[in-house]
Structure 1
Amino acid sequence: MTRTRRVRTARRPFWRWRRNPLRRHSDVVEAWIVLAVWTLALLGGLLAGGAAGAAVHQSFTDRSAATHPVSARLTENAADGPPVVAGYDVGKAWVTVRWTAADGSTRTGLAKAVPTAKAGSPLQVWVDRGGRLVGPPPSRAEVICESLATAVLVAPVVATAVWGGGWVVRRQLLRRRLAEWDAEWRQIGPQWRNFSGGKG
């Protein structure tokens, strides 16, 4: 009975960086490419994610700075207005409100109110610098969540793109290496066969 012995070859880390007679110039180039790709993927992903999150945070901050609350009053019962059918305010109704702008003029517009609100009831609304009705700015918690979510989404996308580019380059190097091996074998192969035949 023949016992098959499995020979485990120890894989030496950083073998492309070590001096050995089998190491080629392309191996060294590939080692540098791998190092550069991983570094760019990690740092690039972190930096891109941080920049995207900061941009979202700044956008919300600018939006909040460009709006301010004013006290308005309902001109009709909210129950008579059309219901809100989408978004976070489902269950409320659209109602016409009136408020006094900073220049003293009277403005009207549509806002969302609970269905039980009566005509003449006060309602806080948000207006922009032009005096137009806008939605309320996001809360601090919403800003933080949106910024973090953007950073978490952007970081792996950028890292994956960098890694994909490195993979393409490594594939090209592999094809070049195989072509070099094929060319060398065409030179050495006939000599090897002649040597083997002569030995027999």
Structure 2
Amino acid sequence: MSQYPSLSVRIWRTRPWNTNPLMRASDRFEALVRMLAAAAMLVAIPIAGAAGTAGYTAAAARISSDNSAKVAVTGAISGDLKRTAVVSARSEMTETHAEAPVRWNQNGRSGTATIEVPDTATLGDEVTVWLAPDSSPTGPPQQSSVAVGNAIGVGLAVLIEIWGAVLALVAFIAWMLGARRRADWEREWRQIGWQTGSDRR
């Protein structure tokens, strides 16, 4: 008893230029589509890499510009802390975040805002307040790792979109060819049944 052919052998036998007369034109077309799809998915990798690089460059420039515009001033906690328990998505542990009103002076102008402060802070403690160019409170400078994460996200999004579109197209073409084959088989079986008399009512 002969051994069943391996996967690589079966894939090789489905190549579009196979000289086997039993291979239908639809089989050759479907094999060609799969080959082109595989090539497109490989080409999508450097395209996604280029998109990720562009995303990193843009994000790094934006972060650098935003960070350079921020100014750090020293403020003092002027009210009671409000603590909130939050469950961390990474560690699944409960973390406590604290907010409190903080007052500061910058170039002779005073300001007040409720910002996040250390959980151990108390009334009157000095904290760092980051201000935007319009003197409104803002977040601390972002790290360069944010740009890296943005680049990875952009690259993966492009890759998934291209691969998803290619796989969807291949699946649609395979479904259409399968429906056509089933229709052909049904028509042929009816012809055989009519010729042998088994399809007569």
What is the TM-score when the length of structure 1 is the normalising length? 0.66
Residues 121-136 of structure 1 correspond to what in structure 2 (within 5 A)? Answer: 121=126, 123-136=127-140
Shift of 1:179: 2.2
Separation of aligned partners in 1, 2:153 and 2:192:
58
Shift of 1:106: 3.1
Residues 100-111 of structure 1 correspond to what in structure 2 (within 5 A)? Answer: 100=106, 105-111=109-115
Choose from 144, 149, 172 the match for 1:168: 172
Separation of aligned partners in 2, 1:25 and 1:73:
77
Residues 146-165 of structure 1 correspond to what in structure 2 (within 5 A)? Answer: 146-148=150-152, 151-152=155-156, 155-156=159-160, 158-165=162-169
> 1:11: which partner in 2?
10
Structure 1 residues 35 and 8, CA gap change in structure 2 (3 angstroms) = closer
SS at match of 2:183: helix
> 2:91: which partner in 1?
none
Judge conservation of contact 2:44–2:163 (CA < 8 Å) in 1: yes
Identity of aligned residues (%): 21
RMSD: 3.8
**Which amino acid in the other structure matches residue 176 of structure 1?**
R
Shift of 1:176: 1.1
Shift of 1:68: 0.9
> 2:76: which partner in 1?
74
Q: Show CA shifts across 1:135-191 (max 9, x none).
A: 224322344245435644663464234313311211111211232344345556666
Shift of 1:50: 5.7
Shift of 1:47: 3.2
Structure exhibiting the larger radius of gyration computed from Cα positions: 1
Q: Show CA shifts across 1:47-83 (max 9, x none).
A: 3476367547734642552341321321526xx2222
Q: Which runs of 5+ in 1 are unaligned?
A: 195-200
**Which amino acid in the other structure matches residue 72 of structure 1?**
T
Q: Which has the higher strand share?
A: 2
**Which amino acid in the other structure matches residue 18 of structure 1?**
N
Structure 1 residues 153 and 90, CA gap change in structure 2 (3 angstroms) = farther
Moved more, 104-113 or 83-92: 83-92
What is the TM-score when the length of structure 2 is the normalising length? 0.66
Judge conservation of contact 1:98–1:108 (CA < 8 Å) in 2: yes
